[in-house]
Amino acid sequence: KQEVTQIPAALSVPEGENLVLNCSFTDSAIYNLQWFRQDPGKGLTSLLLIQSSQREQTSGRLNASLDKSSGRSTLYIAASQPGDSATYLCAVFKAAGNKLTFGGGTRVLVKP
C-alpha cells in the first residue's frame, strides 16, 4: 500500500526566504506526482505535475524535483511572499488501479 509523507507538517518563514517542502513515498512505481496548494476551506489548486520519466518541473518561482528511486520529491518556492501562505499537498498517482494517494500536507506561513 502506497504511503505518502510530508515533512515538516508546518513551516513558518520570514518573507523573502526560500521554502523547501519535502514529500516521500514508499512505492516507487508511480505514474506521476502532483503538487497542490490549498487555502483554508477551499479546494485544491494544481501547482506542478511531474511525470514519472521527468526529474523536475518549473513554473515561475516554483520548482519541483522527483527522485523515483529514492521515493522523494521536493518543492522549492523561491523568494517567498505572504501570499504563499497555504497548505501544500503532494500526491502520487499509480497507474494500476488509478489511485491517487495524498500526503498529510505542509502548512506554510510566510510572515511579512
Partner 1 sequence: SAVISQKPSRDICQRGTSLTIQCQVDSQVTMMFWYRQQPGQSLTLIATANQGSEATYESGFVIDKFPISRPNLTFSTLTVSNMSPEDSSIYLCSGNRGGTGELFFGEGSRLTVL
Binding site for partner 1 (CB under 8 A): 31-32, 34, 36, 41-46, 49, 51, 89, 91, 93, 98-100, 102-105
How far is the C-alpha of 71 from the C-alpha of 48, rounded, in Å? 17
Neighbouring-strand partners of residue 63:
58, 76
Bridge pairing between strands 10-14 and 106-111: parallel
* CB-CB neighbours of 107 under 10 Å: 17
Q: How far is the CB of 81 from partner 1 (least distance, A)?
A: 22
Q: How far is the CB of 43 from partner 1 (least distance, A)?
A: 4
Of 18 and 45, which CB lies nearer to partner 1 in the complex structure? Answer: 45
Q: How far is the CB of 16 from partner 1 (least distance, A)?
A: 29
Of 71 and 105, which CB lies nearer to partner 1 in the complex structure? Answer: 105
How far is the C-alpha of 93 from the C-alpha of 96, rounded, in Å? 9
Q: How far is the CB of 90 from partner 1 (least distance, A)?
A: 10
* Region for residue 46 given its phi and psi (left: phi exceeds 0; alpha: psi -120 to 50; beta: otherwise): beta
Of 15 and 28, which CB lies nearer to partner 1 in the complex structure? Answer: 28
Of 76 and 93, which CB lies nearer to partner 1 in the complex structure? Answer: 93
